[in-house]
Chain A
């Protein structure tokens, strides 16, 4: 009896030992590339630090400066603008297109291929392409605007329009990606639901609102979180589409763009940049937690 239990213990210890060995490379990597940097970054945010050296400790100065920094508030405002306008557009449009592509329609393979291509294209290429399309003088977008009797607009040069131009390109590329995800979720819905409903005489509209949408609920919710987090971290399109050192760049700046400029392009603002990244992380964590809580509450009330 006693012998059996030690044998059992040895087995257990062997299993645990192996497990530790297997998770070790991952944990070591995370320690070196994520956990230690995480702590360091927080420490940096309390320092005045340039592009060389470790700088000097300045306490909460960086955070106090942030509160009075117009550009920071503008970046914060822009970031929320992108999220508030962008998230509903991406979610609604991707459900809309996924629903269209889910129909038994001739040529849907071709439609799918064409609609999916923006999703697999790198933002750098998308940016140079749209920069050309939106060009004030020679861009094809303004050409179509004029054909429709609308005035020409300097999308990327006018501080009033530049954020909408960013939203346009952002939504364009993200809708494609989330259409793929939504369509996959729709295809995962059991067909028998639809068949049963059809026998009961439900219309297409009813099928969509009474079956597809409710069953898609968890996926929509999850996508909302992912899209929100993604948009709050927007960088590429702004960095590549708007000329830096000009007003439109400042007026379209997101938190991450401002972080990048401070941390890597200004000679003595690396500590300040670290503080911006901490603020961004806190915002994203709060929003994620709110969404999780809402989800829990929502599921409870549904039950």
Chain B
């Protein structure tokens, strides 16, 4: 009886999975099929065009399909799928690369690089190429790079009679300008803010910490440094901007993104990443010729920006790895990246494609992003992300003024350090 019951339950379960209709492998002899997974909807159309071109060039041999998954769920979905046949063959990768490399989910590219005489590593910005080199092996080819600059609303400056800042400016200059703007806005009964910024790490505090001589993560990846005096001072300076009405308050910035406030004409100055370039370019503000880009102001040390960017990796589970290599080489190569650059969707990490990028922008001077990239430093990461929520939450607590800078940084660093110490013990 018991056996029968088990059999029945199993039967029910099986019929359920039949009902589900598992597709099953179709082992036809068609072209090698590859699935590419990425997150950015805005880049999808251009990348699709590149993929179509690639498919046409390799008709009958390789067929690539693209799947876009929004950023919010990209990594969760990727993690789930990497254990199944649903796994993408090629996918976008960023600072998480070390995590996936450590889990053995990525295919090392060294043997393909060696075999392939048509491939030249020197065609990429070296800082981005070596970023994906872990424990002596290359795990991805870089697609683009993210730099951070400042955008000015020139119409707003002239309307309120304030002079525009110039490259080489400092935070003191910025505060001075913000005060002038603030006074003029108040006098005219306006509702604009002198300065705005995004609250995410990369376009904001990740730059300020280092520009002021502090650090987020030590070079050996073992120490979180947000509680260093120079780090605290950098954060305090941002908080002071908000307190003094030079920057939009936290409650406003956490509801409406800095970029959105800026392009809707609500701000004079915004710290902005190059990944927003097409948003700027297509705004009515830029169309009217009212956006000017300049380098960030210097803090105690310099004004260098934090450099991010993503690359293409090949899954360990991929069944057509040679085809995948061909594709990755193409999609990060000169032809494809020139096309991306012409569409202005990403600052190319491929040097041969960079000039096409700048030429493409009519309403903003995109060369400023390139110049910022030239002196940029690599985004600090050690491949583990269990600890990062603590410093990031601490920043939000400090900016939101629910804690003092001192309290927030000390407790954030202590919690992060606890995880880091466990990790490296």
**Which A residues from 168 to 219 make CB contacts under 8 A with B?**
none
State in angstroms the CA–CA spacing of A25 and B389 once bound together: 44
Does B219 have its Cβ within 8 Å of any Cβ on chain A?
Answer: no
Contact of B9 among A28, A244, A268 (CB under 8 A): A28
**Is the beta-carbon distance between A157 and B255 smaller than 8 angstroms?**
yes
A contact residues, total (Cβ < 8 Å): 32
Give complex CA distance A158, B256 in Å: 12
Q: Does B320 have its Cβ within 8 Å of any Cβ on chain A?
A: no
Q: Contact flags (1/0) for B261-288 with A, using CB distance below 8 Å?
A: 1000010000000000000000000000
Residue from A25, A244, A246, A264 whose CB has the most chain B CB atoms within 10 Å: A246
A-B contact pairs, 22 of them (CB 8 A): A25-B12, A28-B12, A28-B13, A32-B13, A52-B103, A71-B393, A135-B255, A136-B252, A137-B252, A137-B261, A157-B252, A159-B400, A159-B402, A246-B199, A246-B254, A247-B402, A265-B75, A267-B99, A267-B385, A267-B386, A268-B385, A268-B386
Q: How far is the CA of A137 from the CA of B385 in the complex (A)?
A: 35
B200 neighbours in A (Cβ, 8 Å)? 245
Contact with A along B376-393 (1 / 0, CB 8 A): 000000000110010011
Q: A32-B16, A52-B103, A136-B251 are in contact. List 13 more A-B contacts (CB 8 A).
A: A31-B9, A136-B255, A137-B266, A157-B253, A243-B254, A243-B257, A245-B392, A247-B397, A248-B255, A250-B396, A267-B79, A267-B385, A269-B386
Q: Complex formed: what's the CA distance from A135 to B254 in Å? A: 11
Specify which chain A residues have a CB less than 8 angstroms from the CB of B261 in the assembled complex: 137
Tell me if A83 is interfacial: C-beta within 8 Å of chain B.
Answer: no
B250 pairs with A247, CB closer than 8 A? yes
B80 at the binding interface (Cβ < 8 Å): yes
- Nearest CB of chain A from residue B242's CB, rounded to whole Å: 13
Which A residue's beta carbon lies closest to that of B82?
A52
Which of A32, A50, A158, A264 meets B251, CB within 8 Å?
Answer: A158
> What is the minimal beta-carbon distance from B321 to any residue of chain A, in angstroms?
21
Residues on the A chain within 8 Å of B59, using CB: none
Minimum CB–CB distance from B425 to chain A (whole Å) comes to: 15
Contact indicator per residue, chain A 258-298, by CB within 8 Å of chain B (1) or not (0): 00000011111100000000000000000000000000000
Q: Which A residues from 213 to 255 make CB contacts under 8 A with B?
A: 243-248, 250-251
User: Chain A contacts of B111 at CB under 8 A?
Assistant: none
A75 at the interface (CB under 8 A from B): no
Instruction: Tell yes or no: B83 within 8 A of A by CB.
Output: yes
Q: Name the interface residues of A130-172: CB closer than 8 Å to any CB of B.
A: 135-137, 154, 156-159
Mark contacts of B29-48 with chain A using CB atoms, 8 A cut-off: 1 yes-contact digit, 0 otherwise: 00000000000000000000
Which of these, B9, B256, B392, contacts A135 with CB under 8 Å? B256
Assess A156 versus B255: contact at CB under 8 Å? Given A52-B79, A265-B76.
Answer: yes
**A18, CB-defined interface residue at 8 Å:** no
Please name all residues of chain A whose beta carbon is closer than 8 Å to the beta carbon of B393 when the two chains form the complex: 71, 250
Instruction: Answer yes or no: B359 CB below 8 A from chain A CBs.
Output: no
Task: Report the separation of the CA atoms of residues A245 and B385 in the bound assembly, to the nearest whole angstrom.
Answer: 15
Whether A51 lies near B12 (C-beta < 8 A) is: no
- Whether the pair A267, B12 counts as a contact (CB closer than 8 A) is no
Residues of A within 8 A of B99 (CB): 267
Q: Is the CB of A28 within 8 A of B400?
A: no
Residue pair A52, B83 in contact (C-beta under 8 Å): yes
Which chain B residues numbered 364 to 420 have a C-beta less than 8 Å away from chain A? 385-386, 389, 392-393, 396-397, 399-400, 402
- B301 at the A interface (CB under 8 A): no
A71 to B396, CA, bound (A): 13
Question: Contact between B12 and A247 (Cβ–Cβ < 8 Å)?
Answer: no
Chain A contacts for B252, CB-based, 8 A: 136-137, 154, 157
- Least Cβ distance of A251 to chain B in Å? 8
Cross-chain contact of A157 among B72, B250, B385, B397 (Cβ < 8 A): B250
Of residues 163 through 179 on chain B, the ones whose CB sits less than 8 Å from some CB of chain A are none
Report how far A156 CA is from B251 CA in the complex, Å: 8
Is A24 in contact with chain B by the CB < 8 A criterion?
A: yes
Please report the C-alpha to C-alpha distance between residue A211 and residue B261 in the assembled complex, in whole angstroms: 56
Contact with A along B336-377 (1 / 0, CB 8 A): 000000000000000000000000000000000000000000
Determine if A137 and B199 form an interchain contact, defined as CB atoms under 8 angstroms apart: no
Q: How many angstroms from the CA of A243 to the CA of B103 in the assembled complex? A: 31
Rounded to whole Å, the gap between the CB of B54 and the closest CB of chain A is 30
Complex CA gap A24/B331 in Å reads: 54
**B8 closest partner in A (C-beta):** A24
* C-alpha gap A247/B393 in the complex (Å): 8
